[in-house]
């Protein structure tokens, strides 16, 4: 069985990390898996890049320009919208033709267009599509928040000027997606049970097969270490309780930094515990001045060994996101024995078992977020939390367990395709 995993980037972003880990898991299990990406960063033989062309950059720019025009030249939601109006045709590539199954992951920002996906579906090859967010089940957004339009039909979109209209950009893309999916069967895989439940409510995916499988993690790489040694290597203080926050872009509103800032203010009131905040991600310097605690911005880190060291150095990991699927960062922290705190939203409660391996705070409640941090660091049996976190990851998210579940999906997709033929 030959699997072609298709993702926009080889290494950048949570979907790229998850796709790489899945490829490794499948190859370890004897399945021939390769990745096809637009943005290739390494010389890995198992990763192929789209053929070099000026069009690759133009695809990305053209889509942004079209969105910019449709949003009346506003930058406010420019990168929250994807319309997939342009992209590459991968059906002519050798990697595509040799594959038995095409496995789509995050294919936005000019990687594949809707017409390109339609060509893949019409090729006759079984298609599996891992949903790293809700975009395959909506018209143009990756995060729905309180919007429920996708359960009937996307239009009057909150991301468009004036709240959109009955025949806005969302309505147009919705209709194109409907035509793309008409008469076709895709095996959709959500990364969390929460996203599976949301996708099944989408009118766009009515009749499609939808299941959920978590992202995998290599527990031989992400594992517990000696905190003092990790801190010395990173130049972090030995005499403070380190709270870790990590995001590709720290200032992304959806990641909830403002709630963490408020939580730190609560921690700083009447608590003698010496806390400090470690920030992993880009644009960290933009929030340091707002923090009431001593902060250590480490910037964006792409080196896996250093990332593991950061987790190993931390006492608690906090991710106050307003919407999440099944965040890799929580899984990584838990694998390193770090208890986590997050809001009760999306797939976070599937990872964090409340007061067993971490703390699930009330949604958008900074005071409860602070309560969870304080509980983990000053009240709970920390060693028990740490051990429970590691056991949860090994049991549910190891490479082998996830590979086995995907093999079932592949076999079912191939059997169904042969049945239709």
> Could you read off the pLDDT of 147-180 as tens digits, one per residue?
999 999 999 999 999 999 999 999 999 999 999 9
Q: How far apart are CA 356 and CA 354, in angstroms?
A: 5
CA angle 201, 207, 213 (to 5 degrees): 65
Q: For residues 161 and 70, is the Cβ–Cβ distance under 8 A?
A: no
Per-residue pLDDT tens for 214-272? 999 999 999 999 999 999 999 999 999 999 999 988 998 899 999 999 999 998 776 67
Per-residue pLDDT tens for 22-39? 999 999 989 999 999 999
Per-residue pLDDT tens for 366-414? 999 999 999 999 999 999 999 999 999 999 999 999 999 999 999 999 9
pLDDT for res 302: 86
pLDDT for res 8: 98
Q: How far apart are CA 301 and CA 321, in angstroms?
A: 20
Per-residue pLDDT tens for 114-157? 999 999 999 999 999 999 999 999 999 999 988 999 999 999 99
How does the average pLDDT of the chain come out, rounded? 95
Could you give phi then psi for residue 93, rounded to 5 degrees? -75, 150
DSSP string, 364-395: T-HHHHHHHHHIIIIIS-HHHHHHHHHHHHHH
Residue 418 has pLDDT above 70, yes or no: no
Residue 285 has pLDDT above 90, yes or no: no
Kindly state the average pLDDT of the residues 203-209.
96
What sign does the CA torsion over 200, 206, 207, 209 have? negative
pLDDT band at 306 (very low <50, low <70, confident <90, very high): very high
Residue 41 has pLDDT above 70, yes or no: yes
Kindly state the average pLDDT of the residues 80-109.
97
pLDDT for res 268: 76
Q: What is residue 7's three-state secondary structure?
A: strand
**Both structure tokens of 234:** 């990173």
Per-residue pLDDT tens for 342-367? 999 999 999 999 999 999 999 999 99
pLDDT band at 200 (very low <50, low <70, confident <90, very high): very high
pLDDT for res 417: 66
Q: Is the pTM here over 0.75, yes or no?
A: yes
pLDDT for res 169: 97
pLDDT for res 420: 59
Per-residue pLDDT tens for 43-79? 999 999 999 999 999 999 999 999 999 999 999 999 9
Cross-strand bridge partners of residue 297: 279
> How many beta carbons lie within 10 A of that of residue 112, not counting itself?
24
> How many beta carbons lie within 10 A of that of residue 2, not counting itself?
12
């Amino acid at each position: 069985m030959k699997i072609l995993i298709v993702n926009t980037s080889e290494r950048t972003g949570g979907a790229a990390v998850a796709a790489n880990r899945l490829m490794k898991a499948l190859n370890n299990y004897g399945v021939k898996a390769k990745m096809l990406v637009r943005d290739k960063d390494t010389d890995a033989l198992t990763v192929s890049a789209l053929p070099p062309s000026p069009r690759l950059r133009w695809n990305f720019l053209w889509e942004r320009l079209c969105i910019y025009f449709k949003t009346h030249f506003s930058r406010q939601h420019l990168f929250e919208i994807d319309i997939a109006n342009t992209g590459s045709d991968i059906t002519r590539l050798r990697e595509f033709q040799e594959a038995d199954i095409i496995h789509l992951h995050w294919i936005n920002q000019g990687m594949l267009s809707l017409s390109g996906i339609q060509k893949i579906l019409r090729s006759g090859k079984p298609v599996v599509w891992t949903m790293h967010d809700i975009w395959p089940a909506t018209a143009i957004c990756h995060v729905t928040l309180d919007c429920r339009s996708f359960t009937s039909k996307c239009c009057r979109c909150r991301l468009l000027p004036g709240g959109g209209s009955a025949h806005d950009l969302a309505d147009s893309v919705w209709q194109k997606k409907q035509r793309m999916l008409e008469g076709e069967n895709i095996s959709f895989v959500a990364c969390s049970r929460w996203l599976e439940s949301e996708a099944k409510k989408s009118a766009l995916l009515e009749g499609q097969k939808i299941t959920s499988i978590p992202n995998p993690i290599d527990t031989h790489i992400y594992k517990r270490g000696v905190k003092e040694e990790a801190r010395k290597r990173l130049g972090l203080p030995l005499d403070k309780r380190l709270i870790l926050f990590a995001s590709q872009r720290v200032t992304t509103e959806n990641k909830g930094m403002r709630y963490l800032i408020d939580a730190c203010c609560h921690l700083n009131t009447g608590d003698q515990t010496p806390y400090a905040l470690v920030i992993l991600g880009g644009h960290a310097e933009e929030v340091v001045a707002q923090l009431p605690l001593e902060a250590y911005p480490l910037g964006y880190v792409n080196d896996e060994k250093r990332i593991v060291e950061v987790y190993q150095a931390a006492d608690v990991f906090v991710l106050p996101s307003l919407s999440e699927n099944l965040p890799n960062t929580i899984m990584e922290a838990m694998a390193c024995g770090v208890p986590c705190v997050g809001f009760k939203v999306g797939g976070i409660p599937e990872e964090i078992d409340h007061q067993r391996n971490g703390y699930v705070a009330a949604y958008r409640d900074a005071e409860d977020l602070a309560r969870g941090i304080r509980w983990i660091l000053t009240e709970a049996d920390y060693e028990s939390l740490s051990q429970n976190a590691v056991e949860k990851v090994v049991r549910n998210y190891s490479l082998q367990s996830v590979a086995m579940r995907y093999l079932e999906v592949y076999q079912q997709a191939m059997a169904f395709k042969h049945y239709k033929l």
